[in-house]
Amino acid sequence: MAEKDVRRPTDAELGILNVLWERGPSTVREVHEALSSGRDTRYTTTLKLMQIMAEKGLVQRDESQRAHVYRAAKPRERTLAHLAADMLDRAFGGSAEKLLLHALQSKKVSAREIERIRKLLDDYESADNARKEGRK
């Protein structure tokens, strides 16, 4: 289940977080340049979004330099896990099966992705069996 104190990023905020996760700590100008390639985005919009994200606790701001440097407050995997858990609860009633079925039906899945999903399921089943054996 998703933590209640974690604020869900908007699509625009998630775009900024993706830049920060890829680039690491960055100035607003660096984030803006990464976002605006191929899009018409205003610098002031990026700045305002990043200020709001700092208030929400999604990013942390280092104000020790003239150009403030921002970094994601949480690692990518942790944020994605919270988003997935939130969507699982809200949209699929907590059913991982429904989530996976809809995800697989929504677009073409490569053979490599299917193989990785099988491996994840096998690993999960092995770990679950090991936990059950440990309780006996």
User: Tens of pLDDT along 41-88?
Assistant: 899 999 999 999 999 999 999 999 888 999 999 999 999 999 999 999
Q: What is residue 6's predicted lDDT score, i.e. its pLDDT? A: 56
User: Are 85 and 127 part of one and the same domain?
Assistant: no
Place of tokens 């340049």: 33
Q: Reduced to 3 states, what is the DSSP secondary structure of residue 24?
A: coil
User: Are 82 and 113 part of one and the same domain?
Assistant: no
Task: Say which CATH number the domain at 5 has.
Answer: 1.10.10.10
User: Are 73 and 114 part of one and the same domain?
Assistant: no
User: Are 58 and 21 part of one and the same domain?
Assistant: yes
What's the total number of domains in the chain? 2
User: Are 60 and 10 part of one and the same domain?
Assistant: yes
Mean pLDDT across the chain = 90
Tell me the mean pLDDT in the region 98-120: 92
User: Are 133 and 88 part of one and the same domain?
Assistant: no
Split at pLDDT 50, 70, 90, the class of 2 is very low
Which residues have a Cβ under 8 Å from the Cβ of 13 and sit 6 or more positions away? Answer: 49, 52, 53, 58
Residue 109 to residue 120: CA distance in whole angstroms:
15
User: Are 64 and 24 part of one and the same domain?
Assistant: yes
Q: What is residue 23's predicted lDDT score, i.e. its pLDDT? A: 97
Question: What is the extent of the structural domain holding 136?
Answer: 95-136
CB neighbours (10 Å) of residue 104?
13
- At 117-126, the pLDDT tens digits run 999 999 999 9
Q: Token pair for residue 6?
A: 């974690």
Q: Residue 131 pLDDT more than 80?
A: yes
At 103, which amino acid appears? Answer: A
Q: What is residue 57's predicted lDDT score, i.e. its pLDDT? A: 95
Split at pLDDT 50, 70, 90, the class of 7 is confident
pTM, full prediction:
0.78
| Positive or negative torsion for Cα 125, 87, 45, 57 | negative
